[in-house]
C-alpha cells in the first residue's frame, strides 16, 4: 500500500526510486556539462528508443502531441484534408490533427474494446481523407486496417512505449513520456519513430525551426516549423530509466492478470504484447463505484469521461456516423490502480473492495 494508506492509480515517484541514483547522476552530468538542448544524450536516447520500437530512426520531441502533429505535417497533411481518429482517446489525438489545419473525422470503437473499429473506418473514408490516426489505447495493438494507397496510417503510440510486438502498422509512431506513462520523463517529452529516413528528417526539421544544413530556415512542408525539441535533462532521465522498463512492464502484466482473475467481467482484457499502460474496468454505475472506492482509500482514474465527439474543442470535427460504443465506454470506464509500488496483496484488496461495493 502507498504511503499515507491510500492506494494510488499511478506513482511516478516509485518509478523514479527504482533508478534514482543513475537518473540523478545523469541529470547532474547534463547540468554540469552545459549542453542542455540537443547533444549526445539526446542522440543516444533517440537511437536507444528507436531500437526498443524496432525502427531505424528516432526523433526526440517536446511532447507526444508535438510528435503526432509533426508526423502529420511532415506527411503533408494540412488544410482541406480529413484525418480519421477514434472517438475514444486523449483529446490530443484529435487536436494534433486540428493544429495541422486538417479536420478530424471521429469514428466509433469496437463494442467490447475501446479500440478503433475497422468497419467504422471503412464507412468514413472519402476522397478528402489523407490519414488515419490509430491509437494504441492502454498499450494495446490496433486491429489491422485496409486503406487505399492514398491514405497514410499513423500510430498514436503515446501510451505504448514498452509494448512488445507491433503497434498499428503505421508509417510512423508518436510516443509520449508524460510522467504517468510506463516510461516517464520528469516533465514533458515525446518521440517519433519511423523507418523512413526522409520522414524522420522532415519531422526533425519541423521541430527545430526548419533549420537547413546551410544554416538558413526553410519550409519543410506547408506547416510553419517551430521549436518542439526533447531537452537533454529529460533525455538523460529517459536513458537512465530505460533499463528498468521491461521489468516494470512485466509487473504491470502480472497485476493485470490478477485483476482479471478476480474481476473477469469488469476488467478490460489486453493483448499479450500490451505494456498495460492502464488497467481499465467498466461498470454501469462507474461514478458511484469510484466514489465508494475513494471513501475506502482507493483512488481510481477516469481518463475519458466523454467521447471526443462531445469535446467543445472538437466541435468542428466531422462525425459521419453515431458512436454508441464510444459513448458507452466513456460513461462506464474507470482506471484501477496499477504501478510498480503495488503488491499482489494490494490487487487482492482493491478487487475485494470492488466486490464489496458492488455486492
Contact set with ligand PLP (CB under 6 A):
63-65, 89-90, 92-93, 135, 156, 158-159, 176, 178, 188, 190
In whole angstroms, the minimum distance from the beta carbon of 62 to ligand PLP comes to 8
Those residues whose C-beta lies under 8 Å from the C-beta of residue 42, and which sit 6 or more positions away, are 60, 229, 230, 231, 232, 235
Q: Toward ligand PLP, which CB reaches closer, 92 or 354?
A: 92
In whole angstroms, the minimum distance from the beta carbon of 159 to ligand PLP comes to 5
Q: Toward ligand PLP, which CB reaches closer, 190 or 225?
A: 190
Q: Toward ligand PLP, which CB reaches closer, 52 or 71?
A: 71
In whole angstroms, the minimum distance from the beta carbon of 60 to ligand PLP comes to 12
In whole angstroms, the minimum distance from the beta carbon of 355 to ligand PLP comes to 29
- Determine the angle formed by the axes of helices 344-358 and 286-295, rounding to 10 degrees: 120
CA separation, residue 325 to residues 11, 110, 243, 333 (Å): 30, 6, 38, 12
Q: Toward ligand PLP, which CB reaches closer, 89 or 309?
A: 89
In whole angstroms, the minimum distance from the beta carbon of 264 to ligand PLP comes to 26
Q: Toward ligand PLP, which CB reaches closer, 138 or 259?
A: 138
In the complex, residue closest to ligand PLP by CB: 64
Q: Toward ligand PLP, which CB reaches closer, 229 or 349?
A: 229
In whole angstroms, the minimum distance from the beta carbon of 63 to ligand PLP comes to 3
CA separation, residue 206 to residues 69, 74, 160, 195, 201 (Å): 10, 7, 23, 18, 9
Amino acid at each position: 500500500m502507498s504511503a499515507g494508506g491510500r492506494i494510488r492509480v499511478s506513482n511516478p515517484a516509485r518509478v523514479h526510486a527504482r533508478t534514482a541514483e543513475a537518473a540523478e547522476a545523469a541529470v547532474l552530468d547534463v547540468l554540469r556539462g552545459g549542453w542542455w538542448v540537443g547533444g549526445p544524450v539526446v542522440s543516444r536516447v533517440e537511437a536507444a528508443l528507436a531500437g526498443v520500437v524496432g525502427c531505424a530512426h528516432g526523433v526526440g520531441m517536446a511532447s507526444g502531441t508535438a510528435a503526432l502533429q509533426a508526423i502529420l505535417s511532415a506527411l503533408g497533411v494540412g488544410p482541406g484534408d480529413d484525418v480519421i481518429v477514434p472517438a475514444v482517446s486523449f483529446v490530443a489525438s484529435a487536436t494534433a490533427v486540428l493544429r495541422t489545419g486538417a479536420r478530424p473525422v471521429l469514428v466509433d470503437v469496437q463494442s467490447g474494446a475501446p479500440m478503433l473499429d475497422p468497419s467504422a473506418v471503412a464507412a468514413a473514408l472519402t476522397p478528402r481523407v489523407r490519414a488515419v490516426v490509430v491509437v494504441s489505447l492502454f498499450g494495446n495493438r490496433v486491429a489491422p486496417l485496409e486503406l487505399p494507397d492514398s491514405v497514410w496510417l499513423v500510430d498514436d503510440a503515446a501510451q505504448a512505449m514498452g509494448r512488445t510486438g507491433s503497434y498499428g502498422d503505421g508509417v510512423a509512431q508518436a510516443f509520449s513520456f508524460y510522467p504517468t506513462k510506463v516510461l516517464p520523463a520528469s516533465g514533458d517529452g515525446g518521440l517519433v519513430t519511423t523507418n523512413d529516413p526522409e520522414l524522420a528528417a522532415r519531422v526533425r526539421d519541423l521541430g527545430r525551426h526548419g533549420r537547413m544544413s546551410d544554416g538558413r530556415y526553410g519550409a519543410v512542408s506547408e506547416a510553419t516549423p517551430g521549436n518542439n525539441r526533447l531537452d537533454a535533462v529529460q533525455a538523460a532521465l529517459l536513458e537512465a530509466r530505460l533499463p528498468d522498463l521491461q521489468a516494470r512492464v512485466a509487473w504491470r502484466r502480472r497485476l493485470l492478470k490478477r485483476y482479471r482473475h478476480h474481476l473477469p467481467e469488469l476488467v478490460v482484457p489486453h493483448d499479450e504484447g500490451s505494456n498495460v499502460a492502464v488497467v481499465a474496468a467498466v461498470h454501469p454505475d462507474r461514478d458511484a463505484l469510484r466514489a465508494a472506492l475513494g471513501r475506502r482509500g482507493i483512488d481510481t482514474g477516469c481518463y475519458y469521461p466523454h467521447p471526443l465527439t462531445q469535446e467543445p474543442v472538437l466541435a468542428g470535427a466531422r462525425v459521419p456516423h453515431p458512436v454508441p460504443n464510444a459513448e458507452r465506454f466513456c460513461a462506464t470506464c474507470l482506471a484501477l490502480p496499477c504501478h510498480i509500488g503495488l503488491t499482489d496483496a494490494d490487487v487482492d484488496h482493491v478487487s475485494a473492495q470492488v466486490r464489496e461495493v458492488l455486492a
